[in-house]
Every structure is written in structure tokens, then in C-alpha cells.
Amino acid sequence: MALSRKPQEIVEGSSNPLLAKHESWGRIPVDDIADILNGFAFKSTKFTRDKGTPLIRIRDVGKSSTKTFYDGEFDETYLVNDGDLLVGMDGDFRCAIWKGGKALLNQRVCKISLKTDEYDFKFLSYVLQPYLDVIHAETSAVTVKHLSSRSISEIPLPLPPPEQQKRIVAKIEELFSHIDAGIEGLKKAKQLLKQYRQSVLKAAVTGELTKEWREANKGKLEPASQLLERILKERRQKWEEQQLEQFKAKGKMPKDDKWKEKYKEAIEFNSDVRIPEEWVGVTTDQVFYYVTSGSRGWAKYYSEEGPIFLRMGNLEHYDVRLDMEDIQRVSPPKGAEGSRTKVEPGDSLISITADVGMVGIVPNDFEEAYINQHVSLARPVIRSMGLYLAWLLSGDFAKEQFKLLQRGATKVGLGLEDIKAIQFGLPSVDEQIEIVRLIEEKLSSIEHMDLELDQQLIKAEKNKQSILVSAFSGKVQ
């Protein structure tokens, strides 16, 4: 951490309106009005998930609870109670009132306690964050930014008369209460949109989404059973083509057809999943002819240029579009290890460790790319079915089956056999096209509404900032 100027100099040189004050007010350093208690370096070997005393770490500042406990002896000096003001001293320098019950104060978190009646506690809790923000912006760091208790102690806060502080707090809370009620409504609306998105995907894979369309096109569609016959026939053909390529690569072509007897028939549908009578029950093993997981140990192939190395961060929940905001490139190895994990258009990509079941599809005209060990690819027998299958796997319908296949806490990820074991209903190709159209139409509307809600949330936060600017500059009396 490198803070080149003292907090007093930073504040004096700042144009941030949240640091303004009324001309009749003075300023006072935090050290004159409050005591600062740095957290203790509790031994991480005694950290637990459910035993002992709750422990507040940096990531818990601003939250209503902690998932870390300390199972050991401690000095009660480091106990924090509801209503205490805490500051995270690494990262974003977050300031917040603790609401998670009695807990211990870990290192790199500090507690600020007033030691005078001349300063209102709630006024302090509102006014401090902007000063921490300008110090954060001034702090240089190679990795994580660090804040010292000395820097906090030197922050020159505005000093209105005590009674005016109380009036300002009362007005802030009155105005904030209306905005917060609106924000809560917006957040609930966003949650409802998320639920609606999931319901759209469920309706799609159970046949409800295209029920009327199916009735209107009765007798015009290829029977799903006939489609399945075509898929299984082509699945075998593709397997045989792969085998012949492997023989050719080894320079040992077979003398007869006995090798064909090694073909492994696909897992058959044996589920009680309810599907429309026009559909046929299938498994992912029947509709995907190639399933593999990504490569380990490719860090040595990382480069600034070259093909893309797709990772879990490129996949999302309930959206099959790849997130390409953060990409890693590689210079892949030659031979089988490279070609084995090279993606093709129409491939479904599925996260198989940690946050399992996120799904993406490789679009047409996608540049050369490979997958890492936390991602599997499932290649459809019929490439044009890829988008339908990706949407199928992205919803709760498939996620619930994935969870069952994880077999509880003993299995943290998915195996390739799990990817092949999803059971679902297969409609005709024409109905698949209609399902994808309706999914994308409805999800596009949801996305538009979600963006509008985000804009309203941003506006609400700006309104709160405007209230604070008025309050801290003395315009709220």
C-alpha cells in the first residue's frame, strides 16, 4: 500500500461533492472523536464452518452474517455487537454497521467507537464512507489495496453542531426510507424475472410452451420416434468414423468388421418424466455422440495470442450465450490432447466442478477454442439440434437431475457418465426450432425488463447520493 498524501491533503484537493461542508462548520479528525480497534490475528487453523464463535472477516463487512467461526480462546476486547461500526481495511475499504449478532473482530477489520457526545453515531456512519472512497482512489497497490488505522484516524470529518447532526440524520433517514422501499420493490421484481426465466425454460422442455403450436401443426410433423431412429443410426455412423480415423492415425487399418462389435449402445430412457404424447423419451447419451472433459495442466500453454481457452467463467446460469468478457488464450499442444478438447459449433459446454450445471453453446463461426478441466463438451449427433439441447440443459429441469447425480456431499462434481444420463422428452426438429424461437423471444423481453430495473436501481442510488451531498454541505437543516 502506498498513500502518498495525508488524508487532510487528499480531502482539501478533492472535488467530490460528498466531501463538501457548510462554510460555518469546522472539521475534526476521526481520532479526536472516536477510538479505533484493529481486529486480532486469530489462528486460521481454528476456523470452522459451524463450531465456536462467529468471526467477522473483511468479506463480511456490510453483510448480516458470517459463515466463519472461531473455535478457540479469545480476548473479549475483540467481541463485536449489533450496531458497531466496522471498516474493511483491505480491498474496497467498506464501512458498515454490523447487524449479525455477537462476533469476533478478525485482522484487517477495525471497529470505530465514538468517545464523545459531540458527534452523532449515525451521522458518522453516513459521512465516513465517501472519505474512505477518496483514500481508496489515492491508494496505489500491485494487488490488493490496504488501509491503515492511522489513515482512518487522520480523516478530517465535517463538524456540524450536535443538534444539527441529529436533524440531518433524521432527514436522511426520512428520505432514504422512501427510496429504500422503492429499491426493495425493484429487487423483488428482478427476482420475479429470474423465476419467470426459469419457468420459461421448464415450460419449453415439458412441452407446455408449444402446446398450442403442436395442436395447430398436428399431422404435419415428423414423428419423434422416427427422428430418434435417424439419430441412433447416425450416432453409430459417427462412432465408426471416429474409430477408423484412430486406426488410420496409428497406421493399422482393420482387416475385418469385428471392431464394430465394440460399439456401445446408448443409455435408454427409463424415467417417469412426463412428456407430451407426440414426443419420445430419450437420454443425452442417445443424442450426443461425443462427450469429453477439458484438459489439465494447460497453464504452461497460456499466451497473449492464439486460440481461446474456455473456462467456467465463460458460462452462465440460465443463458447459453458464452460470456466472453474475460478470455484466456493458449498455444495448444499438437496431437491428441489438443484435438480432443477442441470445440465445434453446436457443442454444449457444461461446468462439471464446483458450480455445476452452467451451460453454454459454441456458436457458428466461433474462432478456434479449447476447454479446460472444469468444463465438459457434449457434441450432438445432429448439429442443428445443438441450440435446443443447450437450452434443455441450462434450465432447472436438467439441473435437478445433475444434483441427484452428484450423489450428495461426497461427490463435488459431475462425471462424463452423468452428462450422458439426463432423461428428457424429444420433440420433432420443427418443434425444437419453434421452442428455441419462443425461448429466445421471451428471454429477450425478460432481459430488456431486467435492464430497465437496473437503470431504476442506479437512479435510486444516485438519488441517495444527491441527498447525502445536500446533507453534508449543510443544505439539509
Q: Report the distance separating Cα 263 and Cα 260, nearest Å.
A: 6
Count Cβ atoms within 10 A of the Cβ of residue 355 and give its class: 0-12 exposed, 13-18 middle, 19 or more buried: exposed
Residue 228 to residues 81, 201, 429, 453, Cα–Cα distance (Å): 63, 22, 10, 43
Grid cell 429441469 in the structure block, residue:
397
pLDDT at 36: 98
- 85-102 exposure pattern, b = at least 16 Cβ within 10 A, e = fewer: bbbbbbbebbbbebeeee
The residues, ordered by sequence, that sit 6+ positions from 434 with a Cβ below 8 Å of its Cβ are 210, 213
Count Cβ atoms within 10 A of the Cβ of residue 386 and give its class: 0-12 exposed, 13-18 middle, 19 or more buried: buried
Report whether 414 contacts 405 (CB < 8 A).
yes
pLDDT at 411: 59
Report whether 421 contacts 283 (CB < 8 A).
yes
Grid cell 466472453 in the structure block, residue:
324
pLDDT at 180: 97
Three-state SS at 269: coil
Q: Which residues of the chain have pLDDT under 50?
A: none
pLDDT at 142: 61
Report whether 322 contacts 310 (CB < 8 A).
yes
204-241 pLDDT, tens digit per residue, is 999 999 999 999 999 899 999 999 999 999 999 999 99
pLDDT at 442: 97
Q: Report the distance separating Cα 306 and Cα 326, nearest Å.
A: 15
Domain at 7-160, CATH homologous superfamily: DNA methylase specificity domains (3.90.220.20)
352-399 pLDDT, tens digit per residue, is 988 889 999 999 999 999 999 999 999 999 999 999 999 999 999 999
For 247-427, CATH number?
3.90.220.20
pLDDT at 407: 61
Residue 4 has which C-alpha cell?
A: 502518498
Three-state SS at 380: strand
Grid cell 476447454 in the structure block, residue:
371
